[in-house]
C-alpha cells in the first residue's frame, strides 16, 4: 500500500514538473543582450541593424530548441562576455560577484562588534 | 576595534576610488581582442554565384584566409578596397568576401568598378551568418590560419598599417 501511495505521489509530482516547463521568454533574452553599436542600450531597446539581426538569430536559436543559457553561451563565444548585461560567474568577474557578500559579512561583523562593545559599557 | 574599523573604511574608500579610476580610464567601446586565439566554429556560407556552400574544409587548405564582410552600400568598404586589391597579390593568403545585406546587381557593379580581390565570394543576405563570425558592423575582417584560428580581427576599414601588419604575419610563416 505504501509503495502504491509513493508511486502515485511520484508520478503526480513528475507530471507537475513536466507541466511546469516554461517557454523561453524572448524579450527577457533581448533585454540581457547589449547592443554593441548603441550607447547603453540592450537589443530590446534598439532598432539598429545589429540589434535586428541578433533578434532574428535569437528567434532561430529558440526555434532550434536551444535553452536561454545555451543562447548566452553561443553569443558570448562569438562576441565575448561584453554582450551580456548579466554575465556568468567566472575568474574575471569573481570579485564583482563576491563583493556584495563580502561587504555584507564585513558590515555585519562591524555592527555585531559595536553592539557587543556598547552592551559591555552599559 | 576602532582602529580596525578606520582601516577597513580607508581600504574601502581606496578600493572604490580605484574602481572609479580604472573604469573612467577604460574605453567603453566593444573590443574584439578577447576573441583572438579562438577557433571559428562550423562555417556554412552560401556562394554568391550559386547555391553551393563554403565549409571549413575550403579554408583549411589555405595557409591564411582573410574573411572580409562588405557591401556596396557601405562607404568605408570603398575606402578599404585598394588595400584588399593589394593584398590579393600575395601568395600566402586567400580572401573570402562575404557580401552583407546587399543587392546582387549593386555588389557586382561594385566589383566591376573597383576590382575583385576575392578568391571566394559568399553572400549573407539577411545578416544572420555574420553573427557566427562575431561581426557587429561592416567593414570587418578576420584573419584566420589553416586551423581556422583567429589571428587578428580588424574592425572598420583596413588601413595601410593593417595591410603591412597582415603581410608581416603571413610572410613570417
Do A84 and A99 share a domain, yes or no?
no
Residue A46: which domain range?
23-88
How does pLDDT run across A63-91, given as a tens digit for each residue? 999 999 999 999 998 888 889 998 877 77
| Rounded CA separation A110/A118 (Å) | 12
* pLDDT tens, per residue, chain B with 173 residues: 678 778 888 888 998 898 888 877 766 666 677 788 888 888 889 999 988 999 999 999 999 999 999 999 999 999 999 999 999 999 899 999 999 999 999 999 999 999 999 999 999 999 999 999 999 889 999 999 999 999 999 999 999 999 999 999 998 86
User: Cβ contact (<8 Å) for B5 and A110?
Assistant: yes
Contact status, residue B93 vs residue B171, Cβ threshold 8 Å = no
pLDDT of residue B29: 63
A101 and A83, same structural domain? no
Cα-based distances in Å from A119 to A115, A116, B25, B84: 6, 5, 47, 78
DSSP conformation class of A37 = T
Quick check: is A108 in a domain? yes
Cβ contact A58:A30 at 8 Å = yes
Task: Tell me the chain A residues in contact with residue B38 when contact means C-beta distances shorter than 8 Å.
Answer: 77
**A6 domain-assigned:** no
Residue A60 predicted with pLDDT over 70: yes
Q: Which pTM does this prediction carry?
A: 0.75
- DSSP class of A44: G
Q: Is residue A9 part of a domain?
A: no
A30 near A50, Cβ under 8 Å?
no
Where do the domains of chain B lie, and which CATH numbers do they carry?
Answer: 39-171 (3.40.30.10)
Measured CA to CA, the distance from residue B166 to residue B143 in angstroms comes to 8
The pLDDT value given to residue B170: 92
A77, part of any domain? yes
Q: Which chain A residues touch B34 with a CB distance below 8 Å?
A: 80
* pLDDT tens readout for residues A19-46: 555 688 899 999 999 999 888 899 999 9
Q: Are residues A98 and A84 in the same domain?
A: no
Instruction: Give residue for cell 531597446.
Output: A45
Grid cell at residue B70: 562588405
CA–CA–CA angle B82, B84, B89 (5° rounding): 100
Query: Which one is predicted more confidently, A5 or B90?
Result: B90
Claim to verify: residue A29 and residue A82 sit in the same structural domain: yes
Q: Quick one: cell of A15? A: 507530471
Query: Does a structural domain hold residue A11?
Result: no
CB proximity under 8 Å: A 52-111 to B? 53-54, 56-57, 60, 75, 77-80, 82, 106, 110
Contact yes or no for B43/B56 (Cβ under 8 A): yes
Confidence (pLDDT) at A21: 58
Supply the pLDDT for residue A15: 56
pLDDT at A54 over 80: yes
| Residue at A5 is within a domain | no
Q: Are both A98 and A83 inside the same structural domain?
A: no
**Three-class SS of chain B:** CHHHHHHHHHHHHHHHHHHHHHHHHCCCCCCCHHHCCCECCCCEEEECCCCCEEEHHHHHCCCEEEEEEECCCCHHHHHHHHHHHHHCCCCCEEEEEEEECCCHHHHHHHHHHHCCCCCEEEEECCCHHHHHCCCCCCCEEEEEECCCEEEEEEECCCCHHHHHHHHHHHHCC
Q: In this structure, are A82 and A31 located in the same domain?
A: yes
Q: Are A109 and A101 in contact (CB under 8 A)?
A: no
| Number of domains forming the structure of chain A | 2
Domain CATH code at residue A79? 1.10.8.640
pLDDT at B80: 96
Residues A29 and A45 in one domain: yes
Q: Which residues of B fall within a CB distance of 8 Å from A75?
A: 131
Tell whether A75 and A98 lie within a shared domain: no
Whose cell is 556562394? That residue is B47
Same-domain check for residues A84 and A29: yes
pLDDT at A7 exceeding the cut of 90: no
Q: Are A102 and A62 in a shared domain?
A: no
Chain B closest-CA separation from residue A87 CA (Å) = 15
Q: Is B8 in Cβ contact with A50 (below 8 Å)? A: no
- Same domain flag for A35 and A78: yes
Identify whether A58 is part of a domain.
yes
The pairing of strands B140-145 and B44-47 is unpaired
Parallel, antiparallel or unpaired: strands B120-124 and B93-100: parallel
Query: Does A77 lie in the same domain as A104?
Result: no
Distance CA A65, CA A63 (A): 5
Residue A1, domain member (yes or no)? no
Closest Cβ opposite residue B131 in set A37, A78, A117 = A78
Amino acid at each position: 500500500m505504501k509503495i502504491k501511495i509513493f508511486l502515485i505521489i511520484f508520478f503526480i509530482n513528475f507530471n507537475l514538473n513536466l507541466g511546469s516547463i516554461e517557454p523561453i521568454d524572448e524579450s527577457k533574452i533581448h533585454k540581457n543582450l547589449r547592443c554593441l553599436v548603441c550607447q547603453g542600450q540592450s537589443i530590446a531597446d534598439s532598432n539598429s541593424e545589429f540589434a535586428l539581426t541578433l533578434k532574428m538569430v535569437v528567434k532561430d536559436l529558440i526555434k532550434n530548441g536551444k535553452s536561454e543559457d545555451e543562447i548566452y553561451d553561443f553569443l558570448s563565444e562569438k562576441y565575448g562576455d561584453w554582450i551580456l548585461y548579466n554575465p556568468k560567474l567566472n575568474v574575471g568577474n569573481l570579485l564583482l560577484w563576491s563583493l556584495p557578500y563580502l561587504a555584507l559579512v564585513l558590515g555585519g561583523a562591524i555592527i555585531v562588534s559595536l553592539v557587543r562593545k556598547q552592551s559591555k559599557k552599559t | 576595534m576602532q582602529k580596525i574599523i578606520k582601516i577597513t573604511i580607508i581600504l574601502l574608500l581606496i578600493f572604490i576610488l580605484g574602481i572609479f579610476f580604472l573604469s573612467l580610464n577604460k574605453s567603453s567601446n566593444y573590443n574584439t581582442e578577447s576573441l583572438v586565439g579562438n577557433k571559428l566554429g562550423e562555417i556554412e556560407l552560401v556562394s554568391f554565384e550559386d547555391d553551393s556552400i563554403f565549409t571549413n574544409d575550403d579554408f583549411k587548405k589555405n595557409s591564411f584566409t582573410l574573411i572580409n564582410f562588405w557591401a556596396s552600400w557601405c562607404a568605408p568598404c570603398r575606402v578599404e578596397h585598394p588595400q584588399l586589391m593589394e593584398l590579393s597579390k600575395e601568395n600566402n593568403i586567400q580572401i573570402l568576401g562575404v557580401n552583407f545585406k546587399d543587392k546582387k546587381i549593386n555588389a557586382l557593379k561594385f566589383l566591376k568598378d573597383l576590382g575583385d580581390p576575392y578568391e571566394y565570394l559568399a553572400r549573407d543576405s539577411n545578416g544572420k551568418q555574420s553573427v557566427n563570425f562575431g561581426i557587429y558592423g561592416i567593414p570587418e575582417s578576420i584573419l584566420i590560419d589553416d586551423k581556422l584560428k583567429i589571428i587578428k580581427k580588424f574592425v572598420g576599414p583596413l588601413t595601410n598599417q593593417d595591410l603591412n601588419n597582415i603581410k608581416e604575419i603571413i610572410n613570417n610563416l
